[in-house]
Chain A
Amino acid sequence: MEDWIIDLIKVVFIWVWCLLIAVVMTWVERRASAMMQDRLGPNRAGPFGLLQPLADGIKLFTKEEIIPEKAKSILYVLGPALFALPAFSAYAVVPFGDKIVLGGKEIILQVADVNIGFLYVLAIGSMGVYGMVVGGWASNNKYSILGGLRATAQLISYEVPLGLALLAVVLLYGTFSLREMVFQQSGTFLGFLPNWGFFKQPLGFILFLVAAYAEASRVPFDLPEAESELVNGYHTEYGGMKLGLYLFGEYVNLGTLSAIIVTIYFGGWQLPYVDMSAFLGPVAYGIASFLVFFLKQAFFLFLFVWVRWTVPRFRYDQLMGLGWKSLIPLCLVNFFITALLVQLTV
């Protein structure tokens, strides 16, 4: 087969796969929330309500297109698209498995192994804020504008700790390639721990996790769409598939963030202590590495739901205070310690 056909198949497969994760995630979120609150949750559409996301999708597609009279109509339509585009695209550089050999051809399980993969994720990830602020502004509604402003201030505030926490990781691994980072996490650390970024950067991991929750504007940092204060934040005026793109983009973002956490801090597709490639055939190894990565990612996806029903929402001043007065100084301290340790061990 030609190389570009393989690339195209890979692109389509991964694109559909990451969207599928988001679709199932909407179901998991509702079922798990119901479980934690001793309710049943959606259970009518299909077995265990598994077809609920499909039903929701059909409903959103067949809703009437309403553009509020006060809204700026072009920007109003552009907002959801601007939000969904980067959300759908950030997954392109995540290594979701090692490699698989099919028909004598070695295929790496990653859409694009670029040497600046890491910067691509950060750059694309921070583009989503435009969708929020454009949507909020174009709605011409007080709740929407407040939600959009809050979203902007929150996302740009937490991008700094996010970038600074990852700075220590880059310093540790000495590369921007996500694939290379996974390779560096094989083997053991101090003789008995898996050689994962988590054990080398425990503080960095916690800082990154907190900043990731704020970037995804999830509880406890869901201030942009705090329903008890702002109705629904920046997407108050939206309905139909335009609302669907906002909600769906958020779930895709969760998938991307979980994948990044797994790649950087939890060894990617590798199992601790076991070298899967030693006893599995080339095809089985590819599938196994893919599944290991998915299981790790699924754990962090579930953690998002779990935290949602455990921690109450922050106040806005507490949110900004936490970001600027605690996370950023701690990130810089973490960076210093890492630099010092690297300096002492070279």
Chain B
Amino acid sequence: MMSGFETIVMYLGMSFIVVVIMLVVSALLGPFRPKPRKATTFECGVPLLDPGHKRYAVKYFLVAVLFLVFDLETVLIYPLAVKYRDLAQLGWGIFIEVFLFVAILLAGLVYAIKKRAIDWE
């Protein structure tokens, strides 16, 4: 199955080359007439008052933490899902295991919602 990954590398290489060519060619083809006004930060027509990098809502970090938990959960269940059909033939044990695993995480989700971790007001 290694041959598949070689072609993927070829594909990635092709994407990389084309992206670089696009950036370089557009930089070479365009005119070059710099003016100080052109390089100012866009601000709906008024002069810039303060820099762009400001403090922003902590909610974004909360979402990132929640994402980590649930994405890891998905990653952990994937191998199980592939083999589920084989394991299911052995009895109900695997279903109960999946049920417990997901139920614990669902409880976590309910807790996060109850704590208003994902309410944006």
Contact = CB atoms under 8 A, between A and B. Distances in A.
Contacts of A160: 67, 70-71, 74
A63 B15 CA distance: 22
Given A63-B30, A64-B30, A328-B70, A119 B78 contact: yes
B44 interface: yes
B10 A245 contact: no
A88 B19 contact: yes
Contacts of B53: 137, 140, 145
Interface string A325-338: 10011001001100
A186 interface: no
A11 B14 contact: yes
Interface residues of A, number: 87
A71 B89 CA distance: 59
Interface string B70-90: 110011011001111110110
A142 B52 contact: yes
Interface of A: 3-4, 7-8, 10-12, 14-15, 60-71, 77, 80-81, 84-85, 88-89, 91-93, 111-115, 119-120, 137, 139-146, 149, 152-153, 156-157, 159-160, 163-164, 167-168, 170-171, 174-176, 231, 236-237, 240-242, 244-245, 316-317, 320-321, 324-325, 328-329, 332, 335-336, 339-340, 342-343, 346
Interface of B: 1, 3-8, 10-12, 14-16, 18-20, 22-23, 25-27, 29-33, 36, 38-44, 48, 51-54, 56, 59-60, 63-64, 66-67, 70-71, 74-75, 77-78, 81-86, 88-89, 92, 94-95, 98-99, 102, 105-106, 109, 112-113, 118-121
30 contacts: A3-B3, A7-B3, A11-B10, A62-B29, A67-B39, A68-B42, A81-B23, A84-B15, A111-B11, A114-B4, A114-B8, A145-B52, A149-B56, A149-B60, A153-B60, A159-B67, A164-B74, A170-B82, A171-B81, A171-B84, A174-B83, A231-B44, A240-B26, A324-B112, A339-B98, A342-B84, A343-B92, A343-B95, A346-B88, A346-B89
